[in-house]
Structures are given as C-alpha cells and as structure tokens.
C-alpha cells in the first residue's frame, strides 16, 4: 500500500490546536470519567515518521505518551492510552489515513487523518453515533 503525496504530508511533528466533542467520543469508546477529565486538559504533540514501509505514530503529552508502529493494511495489537487492548488496522485511501480499532467486545471506532488546504492535520473520530474532531498545526 503506497502512500500518496497527501499521506506523505502527515509526516512530521504536530502541535494540538483545538477540538470538539472529544469527551463524547472517549465516553462512547468506554473511557472512564477520571481519565476523560484529565484528557480534556492535555495538548498532545504528534510525531509521524516512516521507515522502509513501517510507519510510526508517537503521541506525547504531560499525562501519557504512546508509540505504535504499523505496516499499512496489516492488523496489529494496540494498547490505547486508557489501557484498553484493541485490534487495529490502518489503511491509506487517497489522501486520508484510516485507523480502525476493535475492542474485545467487537465495538469499532475509526479515526481519519488528513492535511487540509490550510496545512493543518485534521482528525475525525467516529464511534457509534458520535463524531469528534481535533486539529493540529505543523511544529517543524
């Protein structure tokens, strides 16, 4: 699965700008109240890299940091920041990156990432009937 020029634009370091409905999304995927309250206050930095077809996404914040490596289209085990173990697969479709997670009960959520016309990384998260958004500006 080859990365398009639009996917290539996601590489780099990104700083959190703003978001909407993130608490609703976290609640929908089963994140507990205390962690949701803490998560509202953090402004994570994202680092996206690629090396010989293996991609790395690193999320850094004062609360928690996480790194996962993946090959597009290949399912992998992921531990979400709330500690929940999920099965994930990331695919590239045109200029968007789709990250689908399935928890042990079979509930799915999907995160789409892309770079918009203003050069900001847009992230759209969907679970059940909830859609949340976050956006980031390039830091490097």
**Contact, 29 vs 46, CB < 8 A?**
no
- Residue 62 placed within a domain: yes
- For the stretch 97-112, pLDDT in tens is 999 999 999 999 999 9
CATH number of the domain enclosing 19: 2.40.128.20
- Residue 140 placed within a domain: no
**Edge-to-edge strands, sheet with 121-127:** 66-70, 54-60, 45-51, 12-20, 130-138, 121-127, 108-115, 96-102, 85-93, 76-79
In the chain, how many domains are there? 1
- Residue 49 placed within a domain: yes
- For the stretch 14-48, pLDDT in tens is 999 999 999 999 999 999 999 899 888 889 999 99
What domain range is 57 assigned to?
A: 5-135
More confident residue, 1 or 101: 101
More confident residue, 127 or 140: 127
- Residue 124 placed within a domain: yes
- Residue 126 placed within a domain: yes
- Residue 14 placed within a domain: yes
- For the stretch 53-88, pLDDT in tens is 999 999 999 878 889 999 999 999 999 878 899 999
Q: What is the mean pLDDT of residues 114-122?
A: 97
pLDDT at 140: 73
**How far is the C-alpha of 140 from the C-alpha of 29, rounded, in Å?**
32
Residue 129 has pLDDT above 90, yes or no: yes
pLDDT at 41: 85
**How far is the C-alpha of 25 from the C-alpha of 57, rounded, in Å?**
20
Residue 2 has pLDDT above 90, yes or no: no
pLDDT at 42: 87
- Residue 129 placed within a domain: yes
pLDDT at 1: 60
- Residue 119 placed within a domain: yes
């Amino acid at each position: 699965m080859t990365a398009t020029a639009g996917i290539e634009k996601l590489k780099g370091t990104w700083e959190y700008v703003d978001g909407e409905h993130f608490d609703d999304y976290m609640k929908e995927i089963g994140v507990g109240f205390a962690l949701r309250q803490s998560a509202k206050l953090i402004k994570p930095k994202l680092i996206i890299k690629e090396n010989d077809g293996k991609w790395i996404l690193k999320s850094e914040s004062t609360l928690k940091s996480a790194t996962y490596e993946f090959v597009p289209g290949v399912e992998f085990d992921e531990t979400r920041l709330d500690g929940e173990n999920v099965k994930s697969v990331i695919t590239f479709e045109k200029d968007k990156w789709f990250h689908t997670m399935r928890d042990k009960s079979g509930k799915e959520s999907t995160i789409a990432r892309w770079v918009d016309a203003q050069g900001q990384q847009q992230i759209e998260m969907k679970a059940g009937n909830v859609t949340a958004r976050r956006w980031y500006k390039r830091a490097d």
